[in-house]
Amino acid sequence: MALKELASSYTGGDAGRRLVYTEAAAPLAQALADGRGAGEDDGVDTAVRVDLAPSGREVESVERALASAGDRDVVVLLCVSLPENLPVGPLVDVVTRAGARVVRVEGLRTRHARTALVLTRDASVPGVSYLLGHAVSEDDSAQRRLANEWQLEGLQLRALAATLERRLEGALSEAAALRVEKAAVESRLSAQAKEHARSVASLERRLAEGGLGPRIRRAARTISSDPVGGSRKVAKAVVRRASR
């Protein structure tokens, strides 16, 4: 969802909320301005207060935003962090202690922020069902639906996290086994290379002791200088040596 659409969805109406910005979110005013009186936070009584939470400072940003928000205000906190990087437990704690509710959570794909948290103390602001994709009423049936949705989705997320953790453990175990196998292969190759080197050295010594090296080099020079005649000479020399 676009930032402008998200923030503006809580303006106007019976509460007459106006879109305002904290000092931290002032650079976003131009991106979110919709021509309906958006401006800086000037202490208006009822407002949609847009605030910005730097990465790693979400909890203190929520605490600060709710401390300055009135009972009928809506706080749209734009977090730089991705949803999966938010400190869920501390956020739940600080919102609850402030007497507020999280009525909406959105993942964003903008250069300004990656997560939006919508907070309020106003009981008339409906919560948004993630599965339905729209706000639900405050009657008992709707609240039961939200509670059930949170419980079941929480269970699913915990199960998914456990599955991913098991897969990670399996991948780490497999990687460790591959490292052991790699070390064993490298050890075998090193031993084979040393054995080959010893064999080559032994052959070179035998050639030197038998005087074959110089003969082979002379034969090569003879053939190179006269391929036809040289080959005949070398062949005759081999026959003579073999007949001895």
- How far is it, in rounded angstroms, from Cα 21 to Cα 47? 9
Angle 152-158-160 (CA atoms, 0-180°, nearest 5)?
100
Q: Which fold has domain 3-125?
A: Rossmann fold (3.40.50)
pLDDT at 39: 45
- Distance from C-alpha of 148 to C-alpha of 197, rounded to nearest angstrom: 73
Q: Closest Cα partner for 135 from 106, 114, 109, 113?
A: 106
Q: How many CB atoms lie within 10 A of CB 3?
A: 19
Q: At what angle do helices 212-225 and 140-210 cross, to 10 degrees?
A: 90
Its pTM stands at 0.58
User: What is the per-residue DSSP string for 80-115?
Assistant: SS-GGGS-HHHHHHHHHHTT-EEEEEEE--SSS-SE
Cα separation, 222 vs 230, whole angstroms: 5
| Cβ proximity of 74 and 65 under 8 Å | no
Question: Parallel, antiparallel, or unpaired: how do β-strands 101-107 and 115-120 relate?
Answer: antiparallel
Confirm if 123 and 138 have CB atoms less than 8 A apart.
yes
Are the C-beta atoms of residues 124 and 78 closer than 8 Å to each other?
A: no
Q: Which among 42, 110, 114, 36 has a CA at the least distance from the CA of 78?
A: 114
Mean pLDDT in consecutive groups of 10 residues from the start of the chain, 244 residues: 70 66 73 47 68 92 91 91 87 90 84 88 79 65 69 73 90 94 92 81 68 68 71 72 62
Burial of 35 (0-12, 13-18, 19+ CB in 10 A): exposed
| Structural domain spans, the chain | 3-125, 135-210, 211-244
Do 58 and 91 contact (CB within 8 A), yes or no?
yes
User: Please, how many CA atoms are within 13 Å of residue 169, restricted to the half-sphere of its CB?
Assistant: 6
